[in-house]
A and B are shown apart, each in its own frame.
Chain A
Amino acid sequence: MTTAIIQSAAISKHFGSASILSQLDWQIMPGQVIGLLGRNGAGKSTLLECLLGLRETDSGTVRIYGEDVSQLSDATRARIGYVPQKSDLFEWMTPRQMLDYFRALYPRWNGAKVDGLLERWGFDKLMQNKPISKLSGGEQQRLSIIRALAHDPELLVLDEPVSALDPVGRRDFLRELIDSVIERGTTVVFSTHILSDLERVALDLAFLKDGRIALQGRLDELLEGARRVVGPASLLDGKPLAGELRRQRAQDGTVSIITHGGAGLALLGKEAGVRVEPLSLEDLFIEVTQ
């Protein structure tokens, strides 16, 4: 049996009286490329921070590579790369100084990769020697990504990694992710709102809602299984469907059901007045996180 790289059990987190994470269980398996989805304020950043031990949980446990996250060894730390949502880079330093500083901390620092990325992502001499605070949001984000990739991490955690990048920058980032990260079998966990990017690279999806992982699965299977069934209440009332996620009744008596069961709906679709429609990822996001 493969052991999970990240194993969280019953973690809870409150901010004041607001409950953000509630008895959340989650596992990340080696080699997974998993997208974390949720509405704004659902707690995606909090979850990622708790998983990495950057934020204390109120209760529950998180283990990374078998170690308690509050007492990670340096060797385990060196296996992890993290791109925070808000760039926390050393703003008074120049990119060069910052990267040199981190190079000293990581035994496995890949200098050639860093130089290659700096060049391809437009960090010329001038920019490399400018204080980080003078860089644009997109440039800071690119730098943060370079720093996180520099030591060839085995686990890469990205919190909205492309929020400040334009479409070209996003595509460059995706190509880098595909070429040098996913190809190496790196485990990747990332949160994003940009569903088109997610569709391109993620193999698994997890939806965070009400402080828990509300739905998780293979992206392909979720898309193939997701259906909206619409029909008269006389037919659908009192008839629970396999994998039902949501059920709504309109004023005119029409019932609309979202399921991720997929199979077994063919017969139902033949009934008069019943419509069975496939859903896009965006539809599914809206239906699951509402």
Chain B
Amino acid sequence: MTNHAAHLFSISTGSAEPIYRQLVDQVKRLVAAGQMAPGDGLPSVREVAQALALNPMTVSKAYSLLEMEGVLARRRGMGMEVAARAGGGQSATERAELLRPTLERAAMEARQLELDSDTVLSLFIQILKEQA
């Protein structure tokens, strides 16, 4: 079991996505990808707030949401850890859902460029192959 440091997170200002949302999505991606395993400790709210220069309320809002969604669990005593079922239990469909915001943005731009589905899909397949 690892205790993760606050540098794990990065946020960007100037985005249409609120900062707490960015933190939530980041934790979900790290857990889904196995970079954070069940039982791993999360940095404290205070550590993250200090490291990223954020209002602590924003960080605890993200943690609370992740707890509600069952991704994180509150440790007895202090702090948060990755919930037991959060990691391996996720199906490919659930992991794919994490791509949705990015793909929705891409879909919107595709529509603005008046591209048809086939062109866009074949481009995406090509990109997937390039990265593999």
A29 part of interface (Cβ distance < 8 Å): no
**A-contact bits for B65-104, CB 8 A (1 contact / 0 none):** 0000000000000000000000000000000000000000
Stretch in contact with the other chain, from B2-10, B17-25, B26-34, B122-130: B17-25
Are A199 and B16 in contact, with the CB atoms below 8 A? no
B54 in complex: contacting residue of A200, A278, A280, CB < 8 Å: A200
Closest to A183 in B: B56
Are B53 and A178 in contact, with the CB atoms below 8 A? yes
B13 part of interface (Cβ distance < 8 Å): yes
A33 part of interface (Cβ distance < 8 Å): yes
CA distance A182 to B21 in the complex (A): 21
Number of interface residues of B (CB under 8 A): 23
Q: Give the Cβ gap from A122 to chain B, nearest Cβ, in Å.
A: 19
A78 part of interface (Cβ distance < 8 Å): no
B131 part of interface (Cβ distance < 8 Å): no
CA distance A8 to B11 in the complex (A): 36
B112 part of interface (Cβ distance < 8 Å): yes
Closest to A171 in B: B53
B15 part of interface (Cβ distance < 8 Å): yes
Q: Give the Cβ gap from A181 to chain B, nearest Cβ, in Å.
A: 11
Contacts of A183 in B (CB 8 A): 46, 56
CA distance A171 to B57 in the complex (A): 18
B residues lining the A interface (CB < 8 Å): 13-21, 46, 49-50, 52-58, 61, 108, 111-112
A residues lining the B interface (CB < 8 Å): 33, 171, 174-175, 178-179, 182-183, 195-196, 199-203, 219-220, 223-224, 226, 275, 277-283
Interface CB pairs A-B, < 8 A, 17: A175-B53, A178-B49, A178-B54, A182-B57, A195-B13, A200-B13, A200-B53, A200-B54, A201-B54, A201-B55, A203-B58, A220-B20, A220-B58, A223-B16, A275-B111, A279-B16, A283-B16
